[in-house]
Amino acid sequence: MNVDTISDFLAEQRDNTIDELQGHVLEFETLWERKLWHELTNKLIEFFNHPGSAPQRLQFYKVFVLKFADRINQLKLVDLALKAATQCLDNNERLAFMQSVATRVDKENSQDAHVFALIAVARVKLDLEDLPGARKDLDKAESILDKFDSVETIVHSSFYHAQADYYQAKQDFGAYYKNALLYLACIDVKNLPYEERRHRAHDLAIAALVSASIYNFGELLLHPILDALKEREEDKWLRDLVFAFNKGDLVQYDLLANQIQAHPLLAAHSNKLREKIYLAALTEAVFRRPPHDRAMSFDTIASETKVKPHEIEHLIMKALSLGLLRGTIDQVDEVAHINWVQPKVLDMTQIENMRSRLKEWDSSVEQLGNWIEKVGQDVWAA
């Protein structure tokens, strides 16, 4: 396509462009003629980012952008292609389009763009419910990413986003939780639309609760994404439930029993949830005690965790095997000797309990100092 043909194309597109964007199209021709590829790319990104450009993006990409595609930043080329792909008629057309983009940028000096495009291909396959195909593309992308010393944040964020969606589709809650948090670490959460923040917070909370591998909710509790569950009354119970699990609050758990049973996924994992809240109650009971007073009888544990006496030993063994506690069990005397408990995020009540323990420790140290001073007067005098 020669310059005149490009000029004709741009003139035609300008006539079909909303008034607000006509200046952009005029500028495209000037930058094209002057071969200012960097400036032209940035102007195109501005144009593609505007909602009013949607009907023209695909045509602009295929007719205009591809004429100088090899002369611009390949990562930005893929970014333009992704925005153009939103205008494909269906996922099958979108898949073929993005596969062609991935092939185009599969060059030695543009592997970051190739990864970016591969991830986009995987996301379309997820939409088509082709999980094995998506897994293959994501594995290929990951193998290339592992070879980079550094890469643009947008590539990492898109990778973790796609990984999270894949594991959510597979109902691998632990892997979803990990990758979703990694995705959020790559972006500014404040820039996410409210509904997206709300859904992400909901999905993370559910994943943390039903996962067989997550017993420490600290990273989620400290993340601002969880605040999205405070804004609507119908969401607050889920946030309260996560906090109840963090501190082993059996009373709060029972108060939320109706909401748990009304949620299909939580109801399906009700037995697992009950075991997790018992484990949380056990670790909280140990945590509240000073280190020198962590020999707990089975009866004491049964009283504080509401677990049936004949299930106490199994509960302690489960906590030890998961690494939530360290210690030994005296089966004869039915006493658990605990010497370590997994650290956790503390709420204000737990912080106040720790403050009281520190005050007790300070008082004990002072008493010991006074006793040493009293009984050792002759030694000090000598």
Locus of tokens 């983009």: 101
> The tokens of 42 are what?
């940035």
pLDDT tens digits along 179-221: 999 999 999 999 999 999 999 999 999 999 999 999 999 899 9
What pLDDT is stored for residue 376 in this prediction? 65
Please check whether residue 44 lies inside any domain of the structure. Answer: yes
Look at the chain and report how many structural domains it folds into. 2
Amino acid at 113: A
Measured distance CA(19)–CA(81) in Å, rounded: 24
Locus of tokens 């594995």: 139
Locus of tokens 């010497």: 339
Q: Is 354 helix (H, G, I), strand (E, B) or coil?
A: helix
Bridge partners for 329 per DSSP = 336
| 214-238: burial string, b at 16+ Cβ within 10 Å, e else | bbbbeebbebebbebbeeeeebebb
Bridge partners for 330 per DSSP = 335
Which 8-state DSSP code applies to residue 152? -
Determine the structural domain holding residue 1 and report its residue range.
1-101+115-124
What pLDDT is stored for residue 364 in this prediction? 74
Measured distance CA(92)–CA(73) in Å, rounded: 27
The band of 381, judged by pLDDT with boundaries at 50, 70 and 90, is low
pLDDT tens digits along 320-331: 999 999 999 999
pLDDT tens digits along 219-229: 999 999 999 99
Return the higher-pLDDT residue of 167 and 6.
Answer: 167
The band of 358, judged by pLDDT with boundaries at 50, 70 and 90, is confident
Please check whether residue 30 lies inside any domain of the structure. Answer: yes
| Beta pairing class for 325-330 and 295-297 | unpaired
Please choose, from the candidates 326, 325, 301, 322, the residue with its C-alpha nearest in 3D space to the C-alpha of residue 313.
301
Locus of tokens 């204000």: 348
Return the minimum-mean-pLDDT range out of 49-53, 68-72, 97-101, 293-297: 293-297
Please check whether residue 354 lies inside any domain of the structure. Answer: no
What pLDDT is stored for residue 106 in this prediction? 96
Please check whether residue 235 lies inside any domain of the structure. Answer: no
- Answer whether residue 290 shows pLDDT above 70: yes
Which 8-state DSSP code applies to residue 69? G
Share of the chain above pLDDT 70, in %: 94
The band of 344, judged by pLDDT with boundaries at 50, 70 and 90, is confident
Measured distance CA(263)–CA(165) in Å, rounded: 20
Beta sheet of 335-341, edge-to-edge order? 295-297, 335-341, 325-330
- Answer whether residue 101 shows pLDDT above 60: yes
CB half-sphere exposure, 104, CA atoms < 13 A? 22
> The tokens of 249 are what?
């609050």
DSSP per-residue codes, 156-219: HHHHHHHHHHHHHHTT-HHHHHHHHHHHHHTS-GGGS-HHHHHHHHHHHHHHHHH-SS----HH
Please check whether residue 316 lies inside any domain of the structure. Answer: yes
CATH number at residue 303: 1.10.10.10
Ranked by mean pLDDT, which of 245-249, 346-350, 352-356, 376-380 comes out on top?
245-249
Question: Average pLDDT over the chain, rounded to whole?
Answer: 91
The band of 377, judged by pLDDT with boundaries at 50, 70 and 90, is low
What pLDDT is stored for residue 354 in this prediction? 65
> The tokens of 161 are what?
């986003």
Measured distance CA(381)–CA(360) in Å, rounded: 31
- Answer whether residue 346 shows pLDDT above 70: no
Please check whether residue 17 lies inside any domain of the structure. Answer: yes
Whether the CB-CB separation of 121 and 105 falls below 8 Å is answered with no
What pLDDT is stored for residue 170 in this prediction? 97
The mean per-residue pLDDT over the stretch 257-262 comes to: 95
- Answer whether residue 73 shows pLDDT above 50: yes
What pLDDT is stored for residue 292 in this prediction? 80
Please check whether residue 147 lies inside any domain of the structure. Answer: no
- Answer whether residue 1 shows pLDDT above 50: no
Please check whether residue 42 lies inside any domain of the structure. Answer: yes
